[in-house]
Amino acid sequence: MVMSKVIGAAEFKAKCLNLIDQMRDDHESIVITKRGKPVAVLSPAPDTGSRKSIIGAMKGSVVHYDDPLSPVVEPEDWDSLR
């Protein structure tokens, strides 16, 4: 079961970065209150495992053409030219 910390907005503002670091480690949500009433919930991001780099993500997906400057289809195949 995931627990929640309750913290006032002023204290959250003063300690925001430290609380985010803490949340990363303990995976505990934070309920932010204003005048004792909950106004927001800050939750840890879901664990996505190891993030893959976008570098090379499209590798192998590009079609190879022998002559990249020639048209892909013949002009008569275009409906807009008829």
Domain ranges of the chain: 1-44
Along the 82 residues of the chain, how does pLDDT read in single tens digits? 456 899 999 999 999 999 999 988 888 999 999 999 999 999 988 876 666 778 877 777 777 777 778 777 777 777 765 5
pTM: 0.54
CA atoms within 13 A on the CB side of 35: 0
What's the CATH number of domain 1-44, 1.10.2020.10, 3.40.50.10490, 3.40.1620.10, 1.10.10.10? 3.40.1620.10
Contact 38, 32 (CB under 8 A): yes
- What pLDDT was estimated at residue 19? 94
Question: Would you tell me how many other CB atoms lie within 10 Å of the CB of residue 19?
Answer: 18
Bridge partner list, 77: none
In b/e form, how buried is each residue of 36-57, taking b as 16+ CB within 10 angstroms? eeeeeebeeeeeeeeeeeeeee
